[in-house]
Amino acid sequence: MPIKTVLTTTINRVSILDEHGHFDAELGNGLIPDADLVRLYEHMCSCRQLDEVAFKLQRSGRMGTYPQNMGQEAASLGAAYVLNRDDWLVTCYRENCGLFWRGVPVESILLHWMGDERGNAMSREHFATPIAVPIGTQMLHATGLAWASKYRGEKRIACTFFGDGATSEGDFHEAMNFAANLDIPVVFCCQNNGWAISVPGKIQCSAPTVAQRATAYGMDTIQCDGNDLFAVVYCFRRAVEIARSTGRPSFIEAVTYRLGDHTTADDARRYRDQAEVDAWRGRDPIIRIRKHLVEKSLWSDAKEQELLARVEREVAAAVERAETIPAPPRTDFFDSMYAEIPPDLLLQRTTMQTHGIGQDPSQIDGAVIELPAKSNH
């Protein structure tokens, strides 16, 4: 039998505004209007300010832990900018920029990392899911949300974010396989920052790109400079168009870098070379956009100082709102879990005690508790 080629593939990499200030006018002109670019830059600066303040909150014992977003702001912001307001944004924990652009209050993210469950109560108007800390689980959620929209005949799509380490999880492959085989409109975005906590990318994936993992599932796939806001917007517009016009999923590998530790519980100096970090600091997405704005006479030192003063005030106000929010009723733990509370948990809810239950469940410390009658079903 003759040997035949059954598949040849090419994966393109998109870069429009590089770290040296080179701007590809053919691809970039008109992609982001000037007024929007200024707003996007200001938004990234606000998120960077939050990172600095949140780090100090953790170090001073006012917050449990925090994963800084600095260096990775462009990917989620570019997606939120392109997506419709009623498309699902399904994040992990380094997508503050996209969530805030959607309108999620800054204090919600602070409350999450302070251990207050109310930080996860995303309003439906934002079409955003709570932060997902378990690695990879959110990809399945995004696929399910997009599948539900397709089943209802809606045009709503879903976009989900995850790191390079998550592509080694079974959840990743299950979500990709399910979305591809059932034609579900999901945009999968891998923020490849080169490190799965302390594990380098070359151990996570032996292939030249993470993007080619999507080829195995028959998805359209592309790689972009994840620190280039223009390239991110370009790739997401393409992916969103595929999802809306064909109902098919697609994959974006945004090559980026986290400039800080994995979280405030980590010390990246133990496994990363400082020279590598310094090289990526020169590719900072915020610095890149600021230089471009200055070159276009859209920004100045005076505007920068005014912006910094404003974002300091805004972040400080968000911190105050998070730290002064009234404590939730203790009964919320029960009320938010069940539509109809089982008798044994109703007893705990009423007495706020668990000791003694099992000896005489209807009587705690001399107080007789009337339990609801058992249902026949």
**CATH number of residue 183's parent domain:** 3.40.50.970
- How does pLDDT run across 3-59, given as a tens digit for each residue? 999 999 999 999 999 999 999 999 999 999 999 999 999 999 999 999 999 999 999
> What is the rounded CA–CA span in Å between residue 39 and residue 42?
5
- β-sheet bridge partners, residue 255: 192, 225
Residues 128-149, mean pLDDT to the nearest whole number:
96
Q: Is residue 8 part of a domain?
A: no
Asked whether the predicted pLDDT for residue 377 surpasses 80, the reply is: no
Looking at the fold, whether 185 and 268 belong to one and the same domain comes out as: yes
Among 356, 349, 338, which residue's Cα sits nearest to residue 371?
349
Asked whether the predicted pLDDT for residue 364 surpasses 90, the reply is: no
Query: In sequence order, what E strands does 122-170 have?
Result: 158-163
Provide the residue type at 334 as one letter. F
> What is the rounded CA–CA span in Å between residue 157 and residue 242?
11
Domain that holds residue 167: 13-324
- Predicted confidence at residue 328, as pLDDT, reads 87
152 φ/ψ angles, rounded to the nearest 5 degrees: -85, -5
Helix 301-324 vs helix 34-59: angle between axes, to the nearest 10 degrees?
50
Looking at the fold, whether 214 and 319 belong to one and the same domain comes out as: yes
Q: Is residue 45 part of a domain?
A: yes
Q: Is residue 52 part of a domain?
A: yes
> What is the rounded CA–CA span in Å between residue 255 and residue 82?
19
Confidence band for 109, pLDDT divided at 50, 70 and 90: very high
| Residue count of the chain | 377
- Predicted confidence at residue 329, as pLDDT, reads 87
Of the residues 289, 304, 324, which one is the last residue of a structural domain?
324
Give the global pTM: 0.90
User: Alpha-carbon torsion 333, 335, 338, 344, what sign?
Assistant: positive
Helix 285-295 vs helix 34-59: angle between axes, to the nearest 10 degrees?
150
Q: Is residue 317 part of a domain?
A: yes
- Predicted confidence at residue 350, as pLDDT, reads 85
- Predicted confidence at residue 209, as pLDDT, reads 95
Looking at the fold, whether 20 and 72 belong to one and the same domain comes out as: yes
- Predicted confidence at residue 356, as pLDDT, reads 57
User: Alpha-carbon torsion 29, 33, 39, 40, what sign?
Assistant: negative
Which pair of structure tokens corresponds to residue 59? Answer: 């170090």
Which pair of structure tokens corresponds to residue 370? Answer: 């009337």
- How does pLDDT run across 324-363, given as a tens digit for each residue? 999 988 888 888 888 888 988 888 888 887 765 555 555 5
Looking at the fold, whether 38 and 82 belong to one and the same domain comes out as: yes
Looking at the fold, whether 315 and 350 belong to one and the same domain comes out as: no
Confidence band for 89, pLDDT divided at 50, 70 and 90: very high
Count of the separate structural domains present in the chain: 2
Q: Is residue 154 part of a domain?
A: yes
Looking at the fold, whether 216 and 347 belong to one and the same domain comes out as: no
- How does pLDDT run across 267-300, given as a tens digit for each residue? 999 999 999 999 999 999 999 999 999 999 999 9
Q: Is residue 374 part of a domain?
A: no
Looking at the fold, whether 126 and 40 belong to one and the same domain comes out as: yes
Q: Is residue 296 part of a domain?
A: yes
Cβ contacts of 338 within 8 Å, gap of 6 or more? 345
Q: Is residue 377 part of a domain?
A: no
Higher per-residue pLDDT: 87 or 368: 87
Asked whether the predicted pLDDT for residue 103 surpasses 70, the reply is: yes
- How does pLDDT run across 208-262, given as a tens digit for each residue? 999 999 999 999 999 999 999 999 999 999 999 999 999 999 999 999 999 999 9
> What is the rounded CA–CA span in Å between residue 334 and residue 99?
28
> What is the rounded CA–CA span in Å between residue 131 and residue 245?
29
Catalytic residues: 258, 262, 271
- How does pLDDT run across 158-197, given as a tens digit for each residue? 999 999 999 999 999 999 999 999 999 999 999 999 999 9
